[in-house]
Structure 1
């Protein structure tokens, strides 16, 4: 099974997301079992490297500056649990501080859980390098006004042309992306109509679109479970 995961999905594991890190571990398992061929355009790998620091900086700032507090009316002080609440608040503040320090150390050493899992995944993926021919195809695509991508930017076009060029005809592909430029203006949960028609016409195969990794697993591999989930 050909699988493409967009940079915004990988980068979400450095941010606030409803997706758990276990979703990446499931992906490693599927690759190990040779059930999935993860296609990794150079453009995606570069974007993850390029944007990692900014996303972590924003999310860590919000976490580290979070205030842990309770406001006590004067009469609360007369209740038996008042001292215990004060004690646990102090303990929680200390845990918050030390956890922030541990996270910062792992950030500096590039050893966050997402760092380690993405390094593993990228080493197992099928890489698609940028070439002058690929860049030229993407540039022409943008000049013609064809999706995906924003006006004046060829990044998404490079990704799309990478996938078109790498896959063989009659091979289906599964795409996981939360990028609006890949989604349909009519229904954001579906692939852009132009892209879908182009793929079916040129590749004589099907294309399946998901917004989240968890949705992909639910639809395509509902039986997958990590040992810790059993």
Structure 2
């Protein structure tokens, strides 16, 4: 039994708080069960910097203090103390911005990227990394043209199609798909049928939760981590899209 984890599941950890690292650690314990694809690796590294820059911009906007009116207050000791505190706040705010920039510039300082790179290194070391070739690319393009699921957003994008073709042609295990991607979740029956036809194996489930995937796979997980994941998903931005 293997897990196929969509890129956005990994990237979502940038949208959660530090407690989410516990859930990443639980994934690390089952690296041998995770299907990793070169397309997913490319998508992760291509998007992590964008997400961190968005985080930096949001932080700088939301943490900005308005200018304090002075006029008659300039000479009061209370006002001078307030200006001093404001200066300390701005100094600390800039330190936080620098910390985010350090994440962007160096993946060794980025806990999510560090985990993902460890997962990548494990797949490379054990020769389990699935790589796209001309055959897979051609099949993915045909799938896109025919409109067969999973169908990536955008006319030119075929990421989901590539991932699925790699799975069909390189996997001989039952699989569980972890994603919040509508291109998979709205075509469960079709994908299950196609996977079984090509591999003789089964798609055991498609879920948006790591904890639920572990349950399907009969892997024990600390109930606290399930509660943590439920809270993490509730905290996703209101405008977050699963597609």
The answer to whether structure 1 residue 144 and structure 2 residue 146 are counterparts is yes
**Are the counterparts in 2 of residues 68 and 89 from structure 1 also a CA contact under 8 Å?**
no
The answer to whether structure 1 residue 133 and structure 2 residue 119 are counterparts is no
Distance in 2 separating the partners of 1:216 and 1:203: 21
The answer to whether structure 1 residue 123 and structure 2 residue 121 are counterparts is yes
- CA shift for structure 1 position 203: 2.2
Distance in 1 separating the partners of 2:171 and 2:13: 27
Instruction: For structure 1, list consecutive stretches of 5 or more residues without a partner in the other structure.
Output: 70-85, 185-190
- CA shift for structure 1 position 22: 1.9
CA distances 1:188-226 after superposition (whole Å, capped 9, x unpaired): xxx532112211232222212111324324554333589
Distance in 2 separating the partners of 1:172 and 1:203: 9
Distance in 1 separating the partners of 2:86 and 2:212: 37
**Are the counterparts in 2 of residues 148 and 160 from structure 1 also a CA contact under 8 Å?**
yes
The answer to whether structure 1 residue 215 and structure 2 residue 212 are counterparts is yes
Higher helix share: 2
**Are the counterparts in 1 of residues 52 and 100 from structure 2 also a CA contact under 8 Å?**
no
> Match for residue 24 of structure 2?
24
Q: How many residues align?
A: 201
**Are the counterparts in 2 of residues 4 and 175 from structure 1 also a CA contact under 8 Å?**
yes
- CA shift for structure 1 position 129: 0.9
RMSD: 3.0
Q: What SS does structure 1 have at the residue aligned with 2:148?
A: coil
**Are the counterparts in 1 of residues 63 and 93 from structure 2 also a CA contact under 8 Å?**
no
Q: What TM-score does the superposition give when structure 1 sets the normalisation length? A: 0.74
Greater Cα shift, 194-203 or 175-184? 194-203
Instruction: For structure 2, list consecutive stretches of 5 or more residues without a partner in the other structure.
Output: 66-81, 229-243
Q: What SS does structure 2 have at the residue aligned with 1:128?
A: coil
Q: What SS does structure 1 have at the residue aligned with 2:20?
A: coil
Q: Evaluate the alpha carbon distance shift between residue 223 and residue 10 of structure 1 in structure 2; reply closer, same or farther with a 3 A threshold.
A: closer
CA distances 1:77-106 after superposition (whole Å, capped 9, x unpaired): xxxxxxxxx799887665444233222123
Distance in 1 separating the partners of 2:189 and 2:60: 42
Distance in 2 separating the partners of 1:138 and 1:66: 42
Counterpart of 1:44 (choices 40, 44, 47) is: 40
> Match for residue 61 of structure 2?
65
> Match for residue 187 of structure 1?
none
Report 1:71-90 matches (<5 A).
none
